[in-house]
Amino acid sequence: MDLGRTLPPDVTDGLLDELVAFKARLDALLSVATDGMAVIDVDGTIARWNPAAATISGVSADRAVGSGLADIVASGAALDRAPIDGTPLAQTWTFGPAGRAPVRAQIVAIARDGVADGWLVSFGAQRRYDEIEQLKNELVGSISHELKTPLATIKAYAETLRDHALSPEEAHDYLDVVDEQADRLGRAIDDLLLVSRVEAGQLLKRREMLALDDVLDAALAAIAYDREAHPLVRETVGVEVSGDPDLLRDALAQVIDNAAKFSRAGEEVHVRAESRQDRCLVAIADRGIGIADEHLPYIFDRFYRADRALDSVSDGSGLGLFIASALVRAHGGTIEVRSETGRGSTFTLTFPVRG
Ligand code: ADP
């Protein structure tokens, strides 16, 4: 550094202090980053290689720093393709030895006077990008299925109503179906909106003391619970819960809807609640088809459906329990399931009474 000749010593000392502090912060940042980060000099020499870069590539910082990038990255690296205006460029890099998974690198050129003066690279495992891509595809597939099915029914029924001379009774029945399918469409859209709120971590906005009975009534109304098909046995009087009334309603609605959906007509659904010290416990039990052991660990996962064959007999996207568990966790609660194939399932939700 040649600052001493042109600037008074007190200024250079101040600048040096600032530089040292800046470098310490940069070092700290690079060491906590979970993505691999590298700084490459204009001649292609690696100047910085953070710990995540070492883990992901299998090349230690000692070996990487001072080496040419071409000696470390076996294939895929072409830094000079990165635009000079600083727009990131994505490339897939492979490190030797063969067999190590490729990484997805984002390269940004550091420009000085309109020419590249080095590059900043961040990279993560390709698998993560693949997973995100797959998740996106699943979501799009699930959205189109969930929205298209009721839409197609509504359209077909509306056309029949328009094109055929139906008796008033028949027309009434057709309009009932249209109404039902419009509700289903509305619920699918609500679910999808909830999922995006779950992803964004913006769930719980308010918390108040609520009578569980009221929350349960709202949940039953939201799913248009059919008491004739599934007699409801409830023991919920006097129990209180604290939380957001809409979100608690949605959590109970998802679980109760499943209890009915996966039981034969005539089978009861039990909802029992009790206050235990500072927790409120709600158990929702059905005597339906149950869930096999091998599926139990996954049923709260996004898009998971225990039996793909169900797709043809019951509507559902595999989002219900994912949403329910996110809502319960947002309240500081827990959700668990016990189940036996052919005998039924019990979902137990607990909530802290005071958040
Ligand atoms: P879906 O939209 O398919 O109902 P959920 O996330 O609500 O999705 O549930 C995931 C899967 O868990 C369901 O497809 C079903 O296989 C299983 N499941 C959930 N609740 C029950 C239940 N009460 N009885 C039997 N199986 C259930």
Ligand 1 centroid–CA 191 distance in Å is 15
Q: Decide which of 312 and 104 is more confident.
A: 104
pLDDT in tens, 233-287: 999 999 999 999 989 999 999 999 999 999 999 999 999 999 988 899 999 999 9
Residue 72, pLDDT > 80, answer: yes
Q: Are 272 and 309 in contact (CB under 8 A)?
A: no
pLDDT average, residue stretch 60-86: 91
Distance CA 221, CA 249 (A): 10
Which residues, 6 or more positions from 61, have their beta carbon under 8 angstroms from its beta carbon?
49, 50, 51, 53, 54
Q: Are 121 and 93 in contact (CB under 8 A)?
A: no
Ligand 1 centroid–CA 5 distance in Å is 75
**pLDDT bracket for residue 32 (50, 70, 90):** confident
Least confident of 11-15, 209-213, 256-260, 261-265: 11-15
Nearest residue (by CA) to ligand 1, atom 14, is 305
Distance CA 167, CA 170 (A): 5
Q: Are 339 and 346 in contact (CB under 8 A)?
A: yes
Q: Read off the amino acid at residue 246.
A: D
pTM of the model: 0.58
Q: Which residues line ligand 1 at a C-beta cut-off of 6 Å? A: 254, 258-259, 262, 286, 288-291, 299, 304-307, 310, 316-322, 345
| Architecture of domain 3-127 in this structure | 2-Layer Sandwich (3.30)
Q: Read off the amino acid at residue 62.
A: D
Which residues, 6 or more positions from 70, have their beta carbon under 8 angstroms from its beta carbon?
44, 77
Distance CA 23, CA 178 (A): 65
Which residues, 6 or more positions from 247, have their beta carbon under 8 angstroms from its beta carbon?
203, 204, 327, 330, 331
Q: Per DSSP, what are the bridge partners of residue 112?
A: 115
Q: Phi, psi at residue 143, to the nearest 5°?
A: -60, -45
What percentage of the chain has pLDDT greater than the value 90? 42
| Architecture of domain 208-352 in this structure | 2-Layer Sandwich (3.30)
pLDDT in tens, 320-354: 898 899 889 888 899 999 999 999 999 999 998 76
Domain coordinates in residue numbering, the chain:
3-127, 129-200, 208-352
Among residues 23, 49, 47, the alpha carbon closest in space to that of 35 is found at 49
Tokens of 151: 């839409």
Output b/e per residue, 148-163; b: 16+ Cβ within 10 A: eebbebbeebeeeeee
Ligand 1 centroid–CA 197 distance in Å is 21
Q: Decide which of 94 and 345 is more confident.
A: 345
Q: Decide which of 226 and 98 is more confident.
A: 226
Residue among 300, 305, 319, 345 to mutate when testing ligand 1 (max atoms within 8 A of CB)? 305
pLDDT the model gives residue 313: 45
Distance CA 268, CA 288 (A): 9
Residue 170, pLDDT > 50, answer: yes
pLDDT average, residue stretch 139-146: 71
pLDDT the model gives residue 200: 62
| 3-state DSSP assignment of residue 13 | helix
N-term to C-term CA, the chain: 57
Ligand 1 centroid–CA 179 distance in Å is 25
Among residues 191, 161, 166, the alpha carbon closest in space to that of 177 is found at 161
Nearest residue (by CA) to ligand 1, atom 19, is 258
Distance CA 166, CA 204 (A): 48
Nearest residue (by CA) to ligand 1, atom 17, is 306
Ligand 1 centroid–CA 341 distance in Å is 13
Q: Are 214 and 239 in contact (CB under 8 A)?
A: no
Q: How far is CA 100 from CA 50, 56, 59, 123, 131, in A?
A: 18, 9, 11, 14, 18
Query: What is the CATH code for 129-200?
Result: 1.10.287.130
Q: Which atom of ligand 1 is nearest to the CA of 347?
A: 23
Q: Decide which of 214 and 29 is more confident.
A: 214
pLDDT the model gives residue 354: 65
pLDDT the model gives residue 150: 85
Nearest residue (by CA) to ligand 1, atom 21, is 258
